[in-house]
Amino acid sequence: MNRDVFDSARISALDPASPGARAIADLSWWMIGGFSAVFVLVMLLTFFAIYSKGRGLRQQVPWGNHRFIFFGGVVFPSVVVGALLLLSLALTSTARSGPTDLLIRVTGHMWWWDVEYPEHDIRIANELYIPVGRRVRVELLAKDVIHSFWVPNLAGKMDMIPGLRNELILEASEAGVFRGQCAELCGLQHAKMAFFVIALDGQEFEDWLRARRAAIDKIPSLVLQKGFEVFERAHCGECHFVRDTGAQAKIGPDLTHVGSRLSLGAGSIPNTEGNLAGWIANPQAIKPGNHMPRAFISPEDLHELTQFLRNLE
């Protein structure tokens, strides 16, 4: 299931699935059309100039050379570029204003995404669940360097700058899984700083919220298992957070719901049992340079730890 979703997630600015992305795609086509018209006109004039040289054709042109340059080289490009500028300014102002139904706070880290639902007290990583047809206000922050939040099918891209709070409106007009990507070069693993936006129909989104709360209620029974003892012995809690346990660090991603995630390593690999065990055993082999060291534990302990984490849904 996870692997299929991982492989089939949509990512294209020309395949819009929201009113905002539709407006951007339309503007792109207007730009491609407008600039193509300018290009074709300039090329025709260039060929005319080359062809007419020495043939006395220019004297037959009914308008003067200067007027020709003024209208072809100044007026026409100014009108085209000016119209496209006004169109894009109007678009950017509507894309960021208006009332919203849900708040999600996303913080960019090297190289993963911390995702909080402040109104629902839920914290996950590298994926955003949103309800279809509702406007979601996404607060964009950065922990270390500049990152950029981009889900091409759903919205334009917006930079995440340390010390600054940016905002973006996300809205999906159809259910689906959309892939997002960091769009600002942020270091070695910039390419493996991806995420997913999962747009669910209203009731399914409510079910998703309920399932997260149920998963939190399950944690007290999970910490009695051997896997949690391995988790503590391997010092996972010195970087990671798991709700209602002694693991309260916020250096790495919050693992409270890690078992329900689609991917590991911020979109690097599908979150399957084997991949999770492989990630814990040697994360540097999968995503070199990431800040997680390898765990030196026995295969039996690795199995128990993997089971524990997969049960954190």
Q: Which of 9, 106, 111, 307 binds ligand CUA (CB under 6 A)?
A: 111
Q: Compute, in degrees rounded to 10, the torsion defined by CA atoms 17, 22, 25, 31.
A: 180
- Told to check if 115 binds ligand CUA by CB under 6 A, we report no
Query: Which DSSP category does 10 fall into?
Result: B
Q: Which of 116, 184, 254, 304 binds ligand CUA (CB under 6 A)?
A: 184
Six-digit token pair at 193?
Answer: 């700083």
Instruction: Work out how close the CB of 242 gets to ligand CUA at its nearest, in angstroms, rounded to a whole number.
Output: 25
Near ligand CUA by CB under 6 A, which window of 44-52, 76-84, 177-185, 220-228? 177-185
Please say which residue, 40 or 185, places its beta carbon nearer to ligand CUA.
185
- Please give the Cα distance from 40 to 126 (Å, whole number): 44
Q: Which of 172, 193, 276, 292 binds ligand CUA (CB under 6 A)?
A: 193
- Told to check if 147 binds ligand CUA by CB under 6 A, we report yes
Pairing of strands 176-182, 127-131: unpaired
Please say which residue, 182 or 247, places its beta carbon nearer to ligand CUA.
182
Which residues make Cβ contacts (< 8 Å) with residue 166, sequence separation at least 6?
Answer: 139, 140, 141, 158, 159, 160
- Please give the Cα distance from 21 to 97 (Å, whole number): 15
Q: Which of 96, 134, 143, 190 binds ligand CUA (CB under 6 A)?
A: 190
- Told to check if 182 binds ligand CUA by CB under 6 A, we report yes
- Told to check if 149 binds ligand CUA by CB under 6 A, we report no
Size of the site for ligand CUA (CB under 6 A): 9
- Told to check if 123 binds ligand CUA by CB under 6 A, we report no
Near ligand CUA by CB under 6 A, which window of 172-180, 181-189, 252-260, 267-275? 181-189
- Please give the Cα distance from 265 to 113 (Å, whole number): 10
- Told to check if 194 binds ligand CUA by CB under 6 A, we report no
Please say which residue, 109 or 212, places its beta carbon nearer to ligand CUA.
109
Please say which residue, 115 or 215, places its beta carbon nearer to ligand CUA.
115
Q: Which of 16, 108, 227, 265 binds ligand CUA (CB under 6 A)?
A: 108
- Please give the Cα distance from 270 to 256 (Å, whole number): 18
- Told to check if 143 binds ligand CUA by CB under 6 A, we report no
Q: What is the DSSP string of 267-278?
A: TTEE--HHHHHH
- Please give the Cα distance from 78 to 291 (Å, whole number): 50
Near ligand CUA by CB under 6 A, which window of 4-12, 62-70, 118-126, 178-186? 178-186
Please say which residue, 107 or 306, places its beta carbon nearer to ligand CUA.
107
Q: Helix 226-233 to helix 299-310 angle, to the nearest 10 degrees?
A: 110
Which residues make Cβ contacts (< 8 Å) with residue 108, sequence separation at least 6?
Answer: 114, 140, 141, 142, 143, 144, 147, 149, 160, 182, 186, 193
Six-digit token pair at 165?
Answer: 């709070």
Are 11 and 181 in contact by the 8 Å Cβ rule? The answer is yes
- Told to check if 9 binds ligand CUA by CB under 6 A, we report no
Instruction: Work out how close the CB of 52 gets to ligand CUA at its nearest, in angstroms, rounded to a whole number.
Output: 51
Are 111 and 185 in contact by the 8 Å Cβ rule? The answer is no
Q: Which residue has the tokens 């209620």?
A: 217
Residues near ligand CUA, by CB under 6 A: 108, 111, 147, 182, 184-186, 190, 193
